[in-house]
Amino acid sequence: MTMPKYVAIAIDGPAGAGKTTQAKLLAKALGYTYVDTGALYRTLALHKVLAGQSDACLNYDSFPVVEELLDTAQITFGYNGQTDQRVYLNGRDVTNEIRTPEISAMASRLSAIPAVRAHLLDMQRNEALSGNVVMEGRDIGTVVLPDAQHKFYLTADPLIRAYRRGKEMREAEQTFDPVDLVKGIMERDYNDSHRETAPLKIAKGACVVDCSELTIKETTRTLLAIIALNNQPEA
Ligand code: DC
């Protein structure tokens, strides 16, 4: 039997469950590289916005439109240390620009297109070929890295997720409408889990962690404890 060269930890779950925070904390604690795959879908959405096409005039069903989008967006990752992943669109660092509610909604819709998912698959898999990773997304344990040694499905009550996201946005001095925030989270939950290709679902062998009533620290300790348990040799 060939042993995998590197360790992969897959974290999937709905928007706002704390995947990013937890993936970064695990990566830091274990010395692994943090990989945020949602950034790829967000960057494609930004590419569309920069081309002057808002969500309303984006024809998601048109094959040539999608092909053109994929052909003209060169997306690359860079790292400032193992937990500070940067994402570049045609050579420009867009890491911060992709974090807006408009981009979130567009990314969710773009991510339902099979050609988009196929285009981004190898790039995600390649990240796990060059070192130990903590990779977060929606289909990491199911599609991208089904053989990951540790798989988590991190979730929380939708209202708690909306509250946490709102707190983050307030801290970042971004304005938001609380009702739109809740609606946005619920819409994304629906889109992400009802699309035909690689929908968000609990991967085979994944451990479900509901962090609705856990603090950040408690959640990290839970995840680390599960990893340690998984690593214990069988008696
Ligand atoms: O994790 P995020 O909110 O940054 O992701 C943005 C969108 O990208 C999300 O609504 C669904 C999609 N996505 C996906 O379909 N598969 C992934 N592995 C990561 C994100």
Q: Which pairs from 116-119 meet CB under 8 Å and 24+ separation?
A: 116/41, 116/44, 116/66, 116/69, 116/70, 117/143, 117/197, 117/198, 119/70
Q: From the CA of 12, give the closest atom in ligand 1.
A: 18
Q: What integer pLDDT is reported at residue 88 of this predicted model? A: 96
| pLDDT range class, residue 212, cuts 50, 70, 90 | very high
The helix/strand/coil state of 126 is helix
Residue 150: φ, ψ to 5°: -130, 130
Kind of pairing, strands 8-12 and 133-137? parallel
User: What confidence tens digit (pLDDT) does each residue in 29-62 have?
Assistant: 999 999 999 999 999 999 988 877 665 555 666 6
Looking at residues 56-83, what average pLDDT do you find? Answer: 78
**41 CB within 6 A, ligand 1:** yes
Q: How far apart are CA 102 and CA 100, in angstroms?
A: 5
3-state secondary structure of 66: helix
What pTM value is reported for the model? 0.90
Token pair recorded at residue 214: 């856990």
The model's pLDDT over 117-166, given as tens digits with 9 standing for 90+, comes to 999 999 999 999 989 999 999 999 999 999 999 999 999 999 999 999 99
Q: Which of the four pLDDT bands, split at 50, 70 and 90, describes residue 4?
A: low
| Distance from the alpha carbon of residue 114 to the mean position of ligand 1, in angstroms | 14
The reported pLDDT for the residue numbered 232 is 87
DSSP letter assigned to residue 142: I
Give the model's confidence band at 75: pLDDT under 50 very low, under 70 low, under 90 confident, else very high: very high
Write down the mean pLDDT value for the chain.
Answer: 90
Residue 90 DSSP code:
T
**Atom 11 of ligand 1 has which residue's CA nearest to it?**
108
The Cα 125–Cα 10 span in angstroms is: 12
Q: In this predicted structure, what is the pLDDT of residue 62?
A: 66
Query: CB neighbours of 5 closer than 8 A, spacing ≥ 6?
Result: 129
